[in-house]
Structures are given as C-alpha cells and as structure tokens.
Amino acid sequence: MPGIFSLSIDVELAWAFVHRGRIDLAKMTQVSMNVRKIMNKLFGLFEAYQIPVTWNILGHLILDHCSKKDESALPHPDMPRPSYSWLNDDWYRYDPCTQVTSDPAWYGKDIVDRIAHYVETSKLSHEIGCHSFSHQLFGDSGCSENVARAEILKCMQLMKTEYNIIPETFAFPRDHVGHLDLLKESGFVSFRDVPAKLYPCLELERTFSRYLKTYFSLAAQLLSYYFLFPPHVVRSRQTSCGLIGIQGCLAYGEKPLVPLEFLTIKAKQGIDRASREGAAFVVYTHLRDFGANRRFFSQFDRVLRYAKRKRDEGNLLVLTMSDLASKRSK
C-alpha cells in the first residue's frame, strides 16, 4: 500500500501573532507584500509537481477593509470576546480598522481571491479549508462555546458569500484543538489534530510549570532536528462526535536555531517513512513563510520534487485533508 503525503498551507498573515504582547508590524507588512509577489510562482510549483494543497483561510483575510463607529468603539462588535487568563486586553486590539492598501498584513481579499481563482481553474483537486475568523485558541478554557461558534460561522459565511465555498476541513489556530462538536454541527468532516510528541506546550498562562513544559518541549524538538530523528507518520482517527482527526506531522517553517535544510531533510525522511509504512505524512506551513525568507521557496521546492519522485515511483499518493479523511471513512 502506498504512503500518503498531504500538504496544508495556513493563510492568516499578521493574525497568526494576535495572542502575542507585541507584533513587528513593519516586518509583517513587508512579509505580506512579498507574499503577494511570490504567489504565482508558488501556484506554478504546485502545477509543476502536481501537488494538491489544502488552503486554510482565516476569515478576516477575506475582508479588504473593516471599520469601527468611532475612535473609542471596539472593532467587530458583533464578535463575542474570549476571556483568556493571560490576556488583559481586547482580542481585536491590533485590528487597524482600515483597508488593505494601508494595512496589507491585516486584510487579504486580493490574496484569497487569487487562491480561490487558482483552486477553481487548476486541474488538481485542491481544497479550501477554514482557519477561524480571528485566530482564537479554541482549546483554551477562555474560548467559550459562544466565541468558537461565532468564529466558525463568520468565516464560513464569508467563504459562502464571496466564493460559494463550504469548507469541510478545519485547521485550529496554533493547533489548539477544542469545540469539536461545533465543527461537526457546522458540517465539517475533518480537522488537523494536535501533532504528536515533542510538541510545544500550548498554554499561555504565565506560570512556572508552563514555562518549564514549553522550554522542555522546545529543547526536545531542537535535539530531534540536530540528531535528525525521522518525524512521525500517522493514521487518521475518528472522534466520538464523528469527525476525522488527522495529526500534523511536520510544521515546515522557520524555527530558531534550526537551519531550513534540516526541515527539508526531515520532510524527506517523513515521505520515506510514510511510503515504507503505508501511513500518512502531513506537512503544514504558512503562506507568510514564503514572504519571510527568500530561501524558503527553494527549500520547499526540494520537498515537493521529492514527493513527486516518490509518487512517480508508485510509493506515494498526494491527497488533501478531506480526500485523506474520506479514504479513512471508506
């Protein structure tokens, strides 16, 4: 039985960092402009190697502007707010409430338009998945059912109105899994599950044990790169509410102290292991990474070229998340 390679790209630009106390906005603006320049080349890469992709879109990027009533008003008053123990501020405090021309890191209608058009016109069977509206941490106890439901529905509504798309796959922001029953209710079929082993602690509370857990998992991850342990490969699981969960295996992105080359080696090891064991190797990355480092594209090219070679040899299938999930449910 051939192995399976699945690639997801999360599209959220600066919203990836809204949980942080500070964002380097000048850098993110530059990154978001670079992303816009490289997109056609990226589409060309997928066509050249015939790689279908699951594009997980963040709802706020489907907007080309947003506004508030007056200076003292909150952005998006229709969206319920979380009560995270580690955040003493409004979740939308960074939202500039302007438009894409002045703040291209916070709006991305032009980007999502191009992805939707590419997905529609490509002969490859790409998928468009949902990444919430504003990058809330679904697994945190401060993200209530009310907040989670609004996040899912707002993103789905924008996708339906703008592109007539009904997503089947959900990618949790920061892989913080929660409120699965709401996804099921909303018609989702699959989700990207928490990566196994060595994964950094997701909690953001400022406690000693949290810091300890985070540093331990970061150190373990770092060692795994330097000793080049092959990444794990997975089989999907069905949750009690009937969704198919598929764990991410490798977050392909810039990491402190880890050269990109090591990630490429890891990705090839994962593809080999999946082929050998007839399992799935799920790689995910972020569109912003292609705009942050010029070498990212060429390293990523090597991974996809390798996947194509393995597929041409008959040892690998390349599938989107929902196609992978439907194989599981057959």
Q: Which is nearer to Zn ion, 95 or 140 (CB)?
A: 95
Site string for Zn ion, 271-300 (x = CB under 5 A): ------------------------------
**Which stretch in 9-17, 88-96, 117-125, 201-209 sits in contact with Zn ion by CB under 5 A?**
88-96
Shortest Cβ distance from residue 66 to Zn ion (Å)? 3
Q: What is the DSSP letter of 89?
A: S
User: Is 66 near Zn ion (CB under 5 A)?
Assistant: yes
Q: Which is nearer to Zn ion, 92 or 170 (CB)?
A: 92
Distance separating alpha carbons of residues 5 and 176, to the nearest angstrom: 23
CA angle 321–326–329, rounded 5-degree value = 130
Q: What is the DSSP string of 201-270?
A: P------HHHHHHHHHHHHHHHHHHHTTPPPP-B--EE-TTSPEEEE--EE-S-BTTB-HHHHHHHHHHH
Residues 153-172 contacting Zn ion, CB under 5 A: none
Residues 6+ away with beta carbon under 8 Å from 74:
68, 90, 92
Residues 190-209 contacting Zn ion, CB under 5 A: none
Q: Which is nearer to Zn ion, 75 or 270 (CB)?
A: 75
Q: Which is nearer to Zn ion, 95 or 289 (CB)?
A: 95
Site string for Zn ion, 34-53 (x = CB under 5 A): --------------------
| Helix, strand, coil % over all residues of the chain, rounded to 5 | 45, 15, 40
* Phi, psi (deg, nearest 5) at residue 256: -60, 135
Q: Which of 15, 43, 59, 95 binds Zn ion (CB under 5 A)?
A: 95
Q: Name which of 141, 156, 163, 199 is nearest 58 in CA terms.
A: 156
**Which stretch in 90-98, 194-202, 243-251, 263-271 sits in contact with Zn ion by CB under 5 A?**
90-98
Q: Which is nearer to Zn ion, 65 or 273 (CB)?
A: 65
Chain-centroid distance, C-alpha 63: 18
**Which stretch in 89-97, 166-174, 220-228, 320-328 sits in contact with Zn ion by CB under 5 A?**
89-97
Shortest Cβ distance from residue 88 to Zn ion (Å)? 21
Distance separating alpha carbons of residues 282 and 251, to the nearest angstrom: 9
Among all residues, whose Cβ is closest to Zn ion? 66
Q: Which is nearer to Zn ion, 60 or 268 (CB)?
A: 60
Which residue ranges make up the site for Zn ion (CB under 5 A)? 66, 95
